[in-house]
């Protein structure tokens, strides 16, 4: 006589009908759904953590939900940098946040406005820096951080402004970055800039705080250069240097959002900002930041 089959669930011998699944045998009433605990009678079931479930129980209780429409995701779907999952269709329908790249449920591609930067998701909006007092609160800490990297300022007080896009774009007489603007008075001699003085640092209104900090650190790079009369660098060197400091700040804070912006600097395809950053990064890896700073102070240019 052969040994009776043993049910995987109750460890008792099976005498009548049995069910064979997942490399084991079961009393039919003992092959149960991990969610509702009722027997699975259908040939079709889902596995979750190696536990069988009714397809409907899986869909309703376990399947991840779309961040946008909250429908269960059982088939093909997208996952973004932030770990959010969503239906494939939304990528076609919805615009992405200009800052973090998340899909924005309230902005469809049809309503996309003239300027891409106008589209800001709720998460970025929730930390946005909209006023000078807010900006000042963060700026002091950033100045200290930049000084700790070896960039000593001659003057730590200068005007801080938060500008709307229109004012921002109108402003002239400074080094203009897409999101920040350092204005300086330049003194000429023999038609060459001989010295300069920082007048103000302006940041675009509404940046999410993480990005705001990175942009400030970049502008503080310009401030430091101006204050130390490093005023005739080629744009690629100057922007590359400021991006290097900003990138360093993102890495040192190191939150998921910081690393997102660090990667955006590293992968920027812009021939001034992106190529400048990569040039400075290679230089930093070769000679170190300290040598770069020394050379800028003494020779007013990058080390060879
Ligand atoms: Zn059993
Ligand atoms: Zn079930
Ligand atoms: Zn969806
Ligand atoms: Zn966003
Ligand atoms: Zn710049």
Q: Residue 108: pLDDT band by 50, 70, 90 thresholds?
A: low
**Ligand number, closest to the Cα atom of 73:** 3
The pocket of ion ligand 5, defined by CB under 5 A, consists of 177, 239, 242
Q: Which helix (H) or strand (E) holds 162?
A: strand 159-163
Dihedral of the CA atoms 160, 163, 169, 174 (nearest 10)? Answer: 0
CA of 188 to the centre of ligand 4 (A): 42
- 174-228 pLDDT, tens per residue? 667 789 999 888 887 777 777 778 999 999 999 999 999 999 999 999 999 999 9
CA of 70 to the centre of ligand 2 (A): 21
- 162-188 pLDDT, tens per residue? 998 888 888 766 667 789 999 888 887
Computed over every residue of the chain, the mean pLDDT equals: 90
**Whether pLDDT at 2 is above 90:** no
pLDDT at res. 201: 94
The pocket of ion ligand 3, defined by CB under 5 A, consists of 66, 68-69, 71, 87
**Ligand number, closest to the Cα atom of 54:** 2
CA of 300 to the centre of ligand 1 (A): 82
Task: Say if residues 198 and 156 touch (Cβ distance below 8 Å).
Answer: no
pLDDT at res. 189: 79
CA of 119 to the centre of ligand 4 (A): 8
Q: What are phi and psi of 102, to 5 degrees?
A: -70, 150
Q: Quote the pTM value.
A: 0.81
CA of 256 to the centre of ligand 5 (A): 24
pLDDT at res. 239: 97
CA of 38 to the centre of ligand 2 (A): 6
**Ligand number, closest to the Cα atom of 245:** 5
- Give whole-number Cα distances, 109 to 93, 106, 126, 234, in Å: 6, 10, 22, 38
Share of the chain above pLDDT 90, in %: 69
Which of these ranges, 87-91, 110-114, 131-135, 262-266, has the smallest mean pLDDT? Answer: 110-114
């Amino acid at each position: 006589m052969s040994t009776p089959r043993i049910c995987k669930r109750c460890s008792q011998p099976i005498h009548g009908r049995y069910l064979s699944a997942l490399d084991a045998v079961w009393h039919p009433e003992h092959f149960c759904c991990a969610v509702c605990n009722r027997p699975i009678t259908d040939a079709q079931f889902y596995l979750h953590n190696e536990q069988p479930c009714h397809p409907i129980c899986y869909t309703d209780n376990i399947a991840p939900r779309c961040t946008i429409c909250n429908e269960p995701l059982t088939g093909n779907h997208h996952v973004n940098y932030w770990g959010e999952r969503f239906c494939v269709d939304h990528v076609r329908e919805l615009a992405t946040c200009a800052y973090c790249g998340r899909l924005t449920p309230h902005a469809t591609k049809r309503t996309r406005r003239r300027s891409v930067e106008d589209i800001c998701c709720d998460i970025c909006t929730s930390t946005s820096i909209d006023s000078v007092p807010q900006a000042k609160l963060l700026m002091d800490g950033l100045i200290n951080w930049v000084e700790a990297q070896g960039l000593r300022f001659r003057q730590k007080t200068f005007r801080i402004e938060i500008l709307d896009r229109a004012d921002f774009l109108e402003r002239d007489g400074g080094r203009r970055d897409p999101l920040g603007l350092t204005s300086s008075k330049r003194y000429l001699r023999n038609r060459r800039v001989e010295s300069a003085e920082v007048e103000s640092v302006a940041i675009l209104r509404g940046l999410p705080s993480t990005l705001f900090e990175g942009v400030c650190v970049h502008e503080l790079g310009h401030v430091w250069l101006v204050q130390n009369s490093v005023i005739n660098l080629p744009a690629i060197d100057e922007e590359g240097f400021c991006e290097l400091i900003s990138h360093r700040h993102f890495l040192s804070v190191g939150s998921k959002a910081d690393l997102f912006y660090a990667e955006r600097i590293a992968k920027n395809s812009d021939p001034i900002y992106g190529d400048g950053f990569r040039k400075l990064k290679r230089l930093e890896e070769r000679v170190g930041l300290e040598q770069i700073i020394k050379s800028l102070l003494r020779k007013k240019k990058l080390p060879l």
